[in-house]
Structure 1
Amino acid sequence: MTLDQRNSSKLLWAIIGGLIVIVLVVLSYQWMSQNQSAEVTPEAQLLSQPAAPAAKAKAEPAVQLEEVPQQLVSEDILKQPVATNATLAKEEMAKLEDLQAQLDDQAALLNAQHADADELIRLKEEQIQLLEAQLKQQ
């Protein structure tokens, strides 16, 4: 091999090595930025928790005698600082609006269940009165 051929292969390996290093740096940067965004997302998980009780409330029967109140949102959300970045603030507002919509839907569902339960009680009372009247006639 001549000197030029050896130097060209070394140059080729140097270029390939440099490209590999650049690719690794870019991938590690993306991985690190993804981890940082994952550290911010527990707030999003906290905000998305009320979706499960809303689905659970739909599956429950209409008549419930006693229901233990369940805390949907922790109180520490009120103490968290508001984002100073406009984009983050808009995202936070969107999350809070979604949460409020879920809470409104759940409140409407519970009110409908309450109305259904009242209607069932009224109908059962009428049925009992009719049965008592039938027993008196016999």
Structure 2
Amino acid sequence: MTSDQRNSPKLLMGIIGGMVAIIVLFFAYQWFMSSSREVTTESESINSTVSTPLKPSEPVRTMDEKTIQLVDESILKTATPNDPALAKEEMAKLEDIQTQLHDQENILKAQHNDADQLIMLKEEQIKLIEAQLVQK
């Protein structure tokens, strides 16, 4: 190859385009494979926790008919396993679910309090801006 052919803009653009296409394909493959793994693990974890529910230690509380029901009422009616090892395993699963629900409740309460504080601060900011506009 001569030096003119090596420095050709068409050749450089072709090489750059090929490299970009390979990189895009690689990232697309990684993204599709990771999303399919997440879907299967989420569905497996949901199926494993819902497949053999036990009677919870606390009754299901419903606040309104409009609120979303997080726990299925059929849990209250299913029989407990006769094998003590299975019963302990199910109790451990239910305790984990209960702690996750409590953690989620605490997080939501904290977010609600933060939102209330932001609303109060925004109202004060609006009052200050209105006062500045009145002064002008």
Shorter-chain-normalised TM-score: which range?
A: 0.5 to 0.7
**For 1:44 and 1:78, how far apart are their aligned partners in 2?**
18
What's the % identity of the aligned pairs?
Answer: 56
**For 1:132 and 1:42, how far apart are their aligned partners in 2?**
52
Q: Deviations over 1:14-65 (max 9, x none)?
A: xxxxxxxxxxxxxxxxxxxxxxxxxxx9873328xxxxxxxxxxxxxxxxxx
Task: Give the corresponding residue for 2:79.
Answer: 81
Find the structure with the greater CA-based Rg.
Answer: 1
Which of 44, 57, 61 is the matching residue for 2:48? 44
Aligned runs of 1:1-138 on 2, under 5 Å? 44-46=48-50, 69-138=67-136
Equivalent pair of 1:82/1:89 in contact (CA under 8 Å): yes
**For 2:90 and 2:49, how far apart are their aligned partners in 1?**
12
Aligned CA distance change for structure 1 residues 42 and 115 (closer, same or farther; 3 Å): closer
Residue segments in structure 2 that go unaligned for 5+ positions in a row: 1-44, 52-65
Structure 1 ranges of 4+ moved more than 6 A:
none
Query: Cα distance, 1:84 vs. partner?
Result: 1.7
Asked which structure has the greater RCO (Cα within 8 Å, sep 6+), the reply is 1
Residue segments in structure 1 that go unaligned for 5+ positions in a row: 1-40, 48-67
Query: Structure 1-normalised TM-score?
Result: 0.52
CA RMSD after TM alignment: 2.1
Query: Structure 2-normalised TM-score?
Result: 0.52
Residue correspondences, number: 78
Aligned CA distance change for structure 1 residues 83 and 42 (closer, same or farther; 3 Å): farther
